[in-house]
Amino acid sequence: MKELNIKYQQIKAIYEELGHRFFDNGNWNVNLFGIRTCYDVVDEFNDYLGIAYRDERGIERCIIHPGTTKPGLYWLAQNLGNPQGTFILAPGQYPQCWKIGQHKGYEALAQVGSPFLGWRDDDQDSMLDPNGKMYKDVTGLNMHTTSFINHKEKVGAYSAGCQVRQRATHHTEVMAILRMSAKMYGNSFTYTLIHSLLH
């Protein structure tokens, strides 16, 4: 996976260009984002998950990790996440969509309410189908990681639509930042999903 080197001001400019809100009023006020690179490659950690914020000294930080913003092959080919199809989150900004909670027994970002919009893929052809009717009925769309024990090369069953960091160490790093943010601004987080690489 190619390393993506994007600075704080660059991601801020992308937000503004897309008409999204960027949180820039104070230290530890975080901006969580995903960058979806493509739809034609399935089951790879070929997307990016990032966080942009100012640290305790006001220094601009932008941390980007490999991950997936799309469901894995298991949920596309073997076991639909929903009778109507497995959920594929659509690009956009989702205000106050997550809080610090639990995902399968460990600390992660857990869905709040029904903020998400996306497609449902029901043909089990092992391909992503980001088209057709849009849905807002997804539940349990969290931001989490894969395994705290083994390194995972494939998405597999780790995402049925969730936004997933490939490495647990990266997940732990981000959760520490989010705990700092929650102390100052409350336990509520906005997520912005961007389609394609930045320019």
pLDDT in tens, 160-191: 999 999 999 999 999 999 999 999 999 999 99
Q: Is the pLDDT of residue 196 over 90?
A: no
Q: What is the pLDDT of residues 113-149, one digit of tens each?
A: 999 999 999 999 999 999 999 999 999 999 999 999 9
* 98 touches 51 (CB < 8 A): no
Number of domains in the chain: 1
| Residue 197 banded pLDDT, cuts 50, 70, 90 | low
- CA–CA distances in Å: residue 25 to residues 29, 98, 121, 125, 168: 7, 20, 39, 46, 29
100 falls within a domain: yes
Q: How far apart are CA 147 and CA 70, in angstroms?
A: 17
Cβ-contact 32, 51 below 8 angstroms:
yes
Alpha helices in 55-143 (DSSP H): 73
- pLDDT, residue 2, reads 75
- Nearest CA to 159 out of 173, 174, 140 is that of 140
Q: For residue 157, is it left (φ>0), alpha (ψ between -120 and 50) or beta?
A: alpha
- What is the pLDDT at residue 81? 80
| Overall size of the chain counted in residues | 199
Residue 24 falls within a domain, yes or no?
A: yes
Q: Would residue 53 count as lying in a domain?
A: yes
3 is a domain residue? no
Residue 156 has pLDDT above 80, yes or no: yes
Percentage of residues in the chain having pLDDT higher than 70: 98
Q: What is the DSSP string of 92-114?
A: EEEEEEEEEEEETTEEEEEE-SS
Predicted confidence at residue 198, as pLDDT, reads 47
- Is residue 13 in some structural domain? yes
Report the C-alpha dihedral over residues 82, 88, 93, 98, rounded to 10 degrees.
50
Model confidence pLDDT, tens digit, residues 61-120 = 999 999 999 999 999 999 998 999 999 999 999 999 999 999 999 999 999 999 999 999
- Does 2 fall in a domain? no
d(CA 104, CA 117): 23
Residue 108 domain flag: yes
* Residue type for position 100: I
CA atoms of 156 and 150, how far apart (whole Å): 14
pLDDT of residue 199: 40
Note down the domain range covering 53: 8-195
Rounded Cα–Cα distance for residues 187 and 110 (Å): 11
Does a structural domain hold residue 12?
yes
